[in-house]
Structure 1
Amino acid sequence: MMDTLLSLRVFAEVAEQKNFSAVAERLGLSPAMTSKHVKHVEARVGSRLLNRNSRNVSLTEAGAQYLQTVRPLLDGLFEAEAQLTTDTLSPRGTLKVSMPVWMSNPTFAKILTAYHQQNPHVTFDIDLSGRKINMVEEGIDLALRVAFKLDEGLIARKLGEVTFQLVAAPAFLDSFGRPETSADLNNAPLLAYSQVAADGRVKFGGAHGLDVKFKSVLVSGNESILYQAAMAGMGFAMVPSWSVRNDINEGRLEVVLPKVDWPKLQLQAIYSDRSYLPAKTRSFLDFLAGPEGFSAVLK
């Protein structure tokens, strides 16, 4: 007789890893038995949960819905068992986080390091692709975003306000000239983030502010290439101030019109709507929102 609880665990692992062999090895099962466990779950629910062939494994629509239901139950069971055997429940396991490319910088690396020093049993698996993700299907525990359409079944927790600045390389400004008013920026070359200002139009100054119509000379959804192009002197770039703080302090980039009230966006942590959050997710969320997290850098 099949162990249904084990079958559920096998299904969840295969759904997230998208690999039968890897899950079999991790759980100490044969590939054939791993497949039987998944078939057992599918037979119980009366629906196909996984599409699989010789190369790929993916969730069906029913499988994605089922995974969203059973994963928090399995996580809760694991931590309930751990609570019976330890005096304190410590965060542990792999935390899968998706975040924008611009957060790949020394400041955020220090935040990760500080958290890991306090929680050494948590390891990070970080996605920096900047693409649209399906959190449930891809097994993402947490997504950090400043612009995010909240899908059903997800929750957003505000972590702080990100202040943006217009920057450019000194050599570029020596050639172009240093703008004194917003009018000096009309038709100026912009390195544009495709999800915010692909057409080159940037609003600033709050409700009674103005629009600047730049000329987009590079458009990308990857902030890294925009940053590199700004450093190389290709044009102006609108970036989170804390992500280029060192470059500004060391003279590699200059702030343009520093007194202007440039756009501000809320940085949010996005996670699945569940009654029970694993300790690894909850503790990292609390850390990011605490005095050692973003409150120390989002200025």
Structure 2
Amino acid sequence: MQNVPDLEAWAIFTRVAETGSFAKAAAVLGISQPTASKAIARLEQRVGTMLLYRTTRQLSLTPTGEALREQALALLAHAELFESEASAHALEPQGLVRMNAPMSFGLKYLAPLLPIFFDRYPNVDIDLALSDQLVDIVSCGFDLAIRVADLGDSSLRARQLCSVRRPLVASPAYLDKHGRPTHPSELEGHTAFIYTNQSTPEYWRFHRTSTGEEYSAPVHGRIRTNNAEAFLPALLAGHGLALQPEFLVWDALQRGELEQVMCDWRIADINVNLITPPGMLRTARVTALIDFLVEHLAHAPWAMPAVEQETIHPAAAAYD
């Protein structure tokens, strides 16, 4: 294989020629004097001739060194220009971002934001994969994922966008007919819709904020599903009640189509997280998308403030 040019040694040579001293060149470059001296010796061995005359008092260029000095300076200038242009190119958000998100959250909140993002970043493309299945973002090649879940320990990087309440809701018609429960013990007589993408879907664990009381309520229902949005038609039609992430029912609650009950009892809030593969460097396009999503989602009307900025976590099943 053809030898790779020793660009580092040529850069050191130009500084030695410029300063007339190994010590001064080393100080300018932030290296040791022996390192500078060895680089010149290495370069002379490669070109097969001396580039510098060395005496105890001074250094001077040989005729060959003098002839190569200008070319070496031009080479260094081109290299510095290349790095400068490459850095500017890297800072310009452009290229493809592969992103994974839960189905309902993606359709309801991400898709409407894409036109705004494209107007701001016309050179960035999005490959958005919507799925309620847990995916390994590293092996699947995703740059970024949204997880609506609590996260455990892992090497993946996570940034919490916000926290989300999960109120117990039903239609006014259902509640007028079957009564408005005030304690979790009363849920046994109600029709519940059961979200299955959790460890114990048939038990709802409540916490009473005013007293600190805990209560685990067994529930029975006519609908079981891993996508909470599937409950909405039956909820609105008055066929039962459900625990729903507030981002799914916010509009219906504001319009009075759904009503929250047992307001002094809560189950644990969930977090909306942005997760990325391990490593400290991100491309400009991924950073731009993350900042954009924080800007538009962290302050949504249903969003509660995030309690942390960025930590190391794993992917977890999305609540959707």
TM-score with structure 2 length normalisation? 0.59
Shift of 1:182: 2.9
1:226 and 2:231 correspond: yes
Change (3 A) 1:156 1:85: closer
Residue 224 of structure 2 aligns to a residue in which SS? strand
| 8 Å contact from structure 1 (residues 189, 217) kept in 2 | yes
Change (3 A) 1:125 1:187: farther
Alpha-carbon distance in structure 2 between the residues aligned to 1:227 and 1:138: 31
Alpha-carbon distance in structure 1 between the residues aligned to 2:146 and 2:298: 12
The structure, 1 or 2, with the larger RCO (C-alpha pairs under 8 Å, 6+ apart) is 2
Deviations 1:53-78 (A, max 9, x none): xxxxxxxxxxxxxxxxxxxxxxxxxx
| 8 Å contact from structure 1 (residues 82, 89) kept in 2 | no
1:68-217, aligned counterparts within 5 Å? 83-84=85-86, 86=88, 89-104=91-106, 106-147=108-149, 152-196=154-198, 198-205=200-207, 208-217=213-222
Structure 1 unmatched ranges of 5 or more: 2-79
- Aligned partner of 1:294 in structure 2 is 298
Shift of 1:87: 7.1
Structure (1/2) with the larger helix percentage: 1
| 8 Å contact from structure 1 (residues 198, 216) kept in 2 | no
Residue 282 of structure 2 aligns to a residue in which SS? coil
Alpha-carbon distance in structure 2 between the residues aligned to 1:203 and 1:235: 18
Alpha-carbon distance in structure 2 between the residues aligned to 1:164 and 1:224: 13
**Please, what is the CA RMSD of the aligned residues?**
3.0
- Aligned partner of 1:245 in structure 2 is 250
Deviations 1:185-229 (A, max 9, x none): 234222122122653211122664322222133222122323333
Identity, in percent, stands at 26
Change (3 A) 1:268 1:280: same
Residue 295 of structure 1 aligns to a residue in which SS? coil
Shift of 1:139: 1.6
Change (3 A) 1:283 1:81: farther
Alpha-carbon distance in structure 1 between the residues aligned to 2:191 and 2:115: 37
| 8 Å contact from structure 1 (residues 248, 254) kept in 2 | yes
Residue 279 of structure 2 aligns to a residue in which SS? coil
| 8 Å contact from structure 1 (residues 170, 254) kept in 2 | yes
Shift of 1:151: 7.2
| 8 Å contact from structure 2 (residues 181, 187) kept in 1 | yes
Change (3 A) 1:214 1:114: same
Alpha-carbon distance in structure 2 between the residues aligned to 1:177 and 1:105: 34
- Aligned partner of 2:32 in structure 1 is none
Alpha-carbon distance in structure 1 between the residues aligned to 2:190 and 2:285: 46
Alpha-carbon distance in structure 2 between the residues aligned to 1:145 and 1:123: 21
Alpha-carbon distance in structure 1 between the residues aligned to 2:87 and 2:151: 41
Shift of 1:91: 1.9
Aligned residues: 220
Deviations 1:162-205 (A, max 9, x none): 11111112332233222233332234222122122653211122
| 8 Å contact from structure 2 (residues 144, 276) kept in 1 | yes
Structure 2 unmatched ranges of 5 or more: 2-81, 305-320
1:255-294, aligned counterparts within 5 Å? 255-290=260-295, 292-294=296-298
